[in-house]
Amino acid sequence: MLTRRIFCGCLPLAAATLAAAQAHAQSSECVVYNRERQQGVSPDAAIDLLKAGNERFVANKMINCDLLAQVKATSTGQAPFAAIVGCMDARVPPELVFDQRIGDIFCARIAGNFVNTDIIGSLEFATKVAGSRAIVVLGHSECGAIKGAVDNVQLGNLTATLANIRPAVDGATSDGERSSKNAQFVQAVAKMNAQLAAEMLTSKSPIMKELVDSGELRIVWAMHDVATGHVAFSV
């Protein structure tokens, strides 16, 4: 049992710890994005914010915020500074990988992180309407959808899903056999798939091309390593 002296001695430390935690929760990183703050972030700075977030994630130094306070603060509107097109893989949640919180980023997730009309339309909303400053198409290592596309898997509706990845399979090059048994080829296809998806956003969307050409939007692709958590950007 704690003596009165020890207990009283702990109070100042506990109070200091609580005060530090409260101050941290009120830091700039925890302030939710409104339109003014969002538009104050340049497209290049938006990419830098995501890079810095991934560095914190890999170093296990994530920022802790009062998420319920952010729920309340974003209840009447949102202004995410970036959008991520990612795979539905359970190991690659964009909010965690980039150490972002409620209201910070839009996320569109689908097996194989490809883009189609629905996702492109969603990104037009995210950028032209909601004002996001950057888009990252995020591929990853050991992707099951990529492996399925490489092996030309036929399974119900998944067949049509994987067909979206075929251009990357056809365009990727690597030594050895062109099957999922060749890890180097699978990774080459994953990279090609992310790159092609990023390029498609401007080739299929005059709206986003105009935003890119005017310097209001930046689109890049990146690869997440499921073994380390590190994200390697194309730029």
The pLDDT value given to residue 5: 54
The pLDDT value given to residue 226: 98
141-182 pLDDT, tens digit per residue, is 999 999 999 999 999 999 999 999 999 999 999 899 999 999
Mean pLDDT of 58-73: 96
Domain contains 4: no
74 φ/ψ angles, rounded to the nearest 5 degrees: -105, 5
Domain contains 91: yes
Cα–Cα distance for residue pair 120/106, rounded to 1 Å: 13
Q: Which residue has the higher pLDDT, 20 or 166?
A: 166
Is residue 109 packed enough to be buried (19+ CB in 10 Å), middle (13-18) or exposed (0-12)? middle
Residue 127, pLDDT > 80, answer yes
Cα–Cα distance for residue pair 137/149, rounded to 1 Å: 18
Helices (H), ranges, 59-205: 67-73, 94-97, 117-124, 144-150, 158-163, 166-171, 183-203
Domain contains 179: yes
Domain contains 11: no
Instruction: Give me the domain span that covers residue 133.
Output: 31-233
206-225 pLDDT, tens digit per residue, is 999 999 999 999 999 999 99
The pLDDT value given to residue 28: 77
pTM attached to this predicted model = 0.88
23: confidence class by pLDDT, cuts 50, 70, 90: very low
The pLDDT value given to residue 235: 86
Residue 18, pLDDT > 50, answer no
Domain contains 2: no
Domain contains 20: no
Residue 4, pLDDT > 70, answer no
The helix/strand/coil state of 84 is strand
Helices (H), ranges, 59-157: 67-73, 94-97, 117-124, 144-150
- The dihedral over CA atoms of 160, 164, 170, 173, expressed in degrees to the nearest 10, equals -130
Dihedral angle sign, alpha carbons of residues 64, 66, 71, 77: negative
Strand order from edge to edge, sheet including 105-109:
105-109, 82-86, 134-140, 218-224, 231-233
27: confidence class by pLDDT, cuts 50, 70, 90: low
| Contact between residue 190 and residue 143 where contact means Cβ atoms under 8 Å apart | yes
Domain contains 9: no
Residue 7, pLDDT > 50, answer no
Strands 231-233 and 218-224: antiparallel
Mean pLDDT of 23-34: 73
Cα–Cα distance for residue pair 32/96, rounded to 1 Å: 16
The pLDDT value given to residue 14: 47
Cα–Cα distance for residue pair 30/50, rounded to 1 Å: 15
Cα–Cα distance for residue pair 107/86, rounded to 1 Å: 7
Name the average pLDDT for the chain: 91
Q: What is the CATH number of the domain that holds 196?
A: 3.40.1050.10
Domain contains 15: no
Domain count, the chain: 1
Report how far apart, in Å, the C-alpha atoms of 89 and of each of 24, 108, 146 are.
31, 12, 11
